[in-house]
């Protein structure tokens, strides 16, 4: 099963994508979003523990897509 979470928001800069799953990482757009900067890190850790994958693709000012693979296809 593959889940995709897609938005059409501000997006994430290409230079920031490698860091978004790091604990306490805040991107340049942090002033537009609340939070404590651990949500994506915890999500990735949990998915990794189950030997599954999560990836992100984004275009700045166009949006972001998170893809979670829950089972082997």
Per DSSP, the residues of 12-39 read --TTTGGGTTSTT---TTGGG--S-S-H
Model pTM score: 0.79
**Separation of alpha carbons 23 and 16, rounded Å:** 13
Structural domains of the chain ordered from first start: 2-69 (3.30.565.10)
Q: Compute the average pLDDT of residues 5-22.
A: 91
Convert the pLDDT of each residue in 20-73 to its tens digit: 898 866 665 555 555 556 788 999 999 999 999 999 999 988 999 999 998 865
């Amino acid at each position: 099963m593959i889940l995709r979470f897609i938005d059409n928001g501000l997006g994430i800069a290409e230079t920031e994508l490698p860091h978004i799953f790091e604990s306490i990482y805040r991107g340049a757009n942090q002033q537009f979003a609340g939070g404590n900067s651990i949500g994506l890190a915890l999500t990735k850790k949990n998915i990794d523990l189950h030997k599954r994958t999560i990836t992100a693709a984004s275009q700045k000012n166009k949006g972001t897509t998170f893809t979670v693979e829950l089972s082997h296809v």
